[in-house]
Amino acid sequence: MAIERAGVIGSGLMGSGIAEVLARSGLDVVVRDISDEAVAAGRARIEKSFDKGVSRGKMTEDERSAALGRMAFTTDMAAMADRQLVIEAASENEEIKKSIFAELDSIVEDESAILASNTSSMPIIRFAQATSRPSRVLGIHFFNPAPVQPLVELVTSVLTAPEVVDEVEAFVSGVLGKEPIRADDRPGFVVNALLIPFLFSAIRMYEAGHATKEDIDTGMVKGCAHPMGPLRLADMVGLDTCFYVGQSMYAETGDPAAKPPLILSRMVDAGMLGTKSGRGFYEYGG
């Protein structure tokens, strides 16, 4: 059965980006967050991105209106009842995510619906076990900015049914036009298992005063052809997200490379969350 009705839980940076990708691919999308303010901010982010798409000639005015017309924004979880695919993109907090999965399990009516998490590093099996249908649960992990990055990691728990992964793989490549890779349900999956130690090394290098933040970033951009340097990338991912992902990887593996640097913890406590708060390693206007 073709997936035509999707839901996204969370309208933050990733949730709104994922919802945008789904709507632009022709799906009917319901986006749910916990407060009117969060929902309005998510909607505004998507509208701004569509406006940018129109002004850069990537979509027409008609396509913009059609995509927005396919989207609904709500604080009501009951709106997920008729969804065939729901992607959870709430903040990286295991208890919150588990309770979302338990709630979805009781609300989503179609037993063949797929319940997915966009978690960056948390064990998918724990969310699967919060439901009565663990074989229909998997990780569908997008990369920031979701409308731009082609990759999607498909994370299978030990209980995910093989046909569910096959179905999602065909959907991700055929309908969303993204490039799927498969990953085991291990801390950080493929990409963050490699990326987080790299970002933390750069933060420790800055913390130790080895080089300026600009020189660290220029080093990787000009020396290794990275599209952006690690400190600017950490700002874009969100310093809170980097912190929580590292914390969860470190808790499971004990790998010191995944342990969040002290300065990162202090910056998160200070509300310096990177691009989204206007200040991280760099300052961002507007």
Contact positions toward ligand 3HC, by CB under 6 A? Answer: 49, 52, 56, 120, 143-145, 147-149, 192, 195, 227-228, 233, 237, 241, 245
Question: Taking the complex as a whole, how short is the minimal distance between the CB of residue 163 and ligand 3HC, in angstroms?
Answer: 26
| 276 labelled ligand-binding | yes
Structure tokens at 215: 């020189």
CA atoms within 13 A on the CB side of 169: 13
Based on CB atoms, which residue is closest to ligand 3HC, 149 or 253?
149
| 110 labelled ligand-binding | no
The residue among 13, 33, 19, 131 whose CA lies nearest residue 67 is: 19
| 11 labelled ligand-binding | yes
Report the catalytic residues: 120, 141, 153, 192
Based on CB atoms, which residue is closest to ligand 3HC, 166 or 184?
184
What is the SS3 assignment for 227?
coil
| 209 labelled ligand-binding | no
Question: Taking the complex as a whole, how short is the minimal distance between the CB of residue 183 and ligand 3HC, in angstroms?
Answer: 12
Residue with tokens 């940018």: 52
Q: Residue 128 — φ and ψ, nearest 5°?
A: -60, -40
Question: Taking the complex as a whole, how short is the minimal distance between the CB of residue 190 and ligand 3HC, in angstroms?
Answer: 11
- Cα angle value 132/133/137 (rounded, 5°): 130
Question: How would you classify the pairing of strands 114-117 and 85-88?
Answer: parallel
Based on CB atoms, which residue is closest to ligand 3HC, 84 or 241?
241
Question: Which residue positions form the known binding site for NAD(+)?
Answer: 10-15, 33, 92, 97, 120, 144, 276
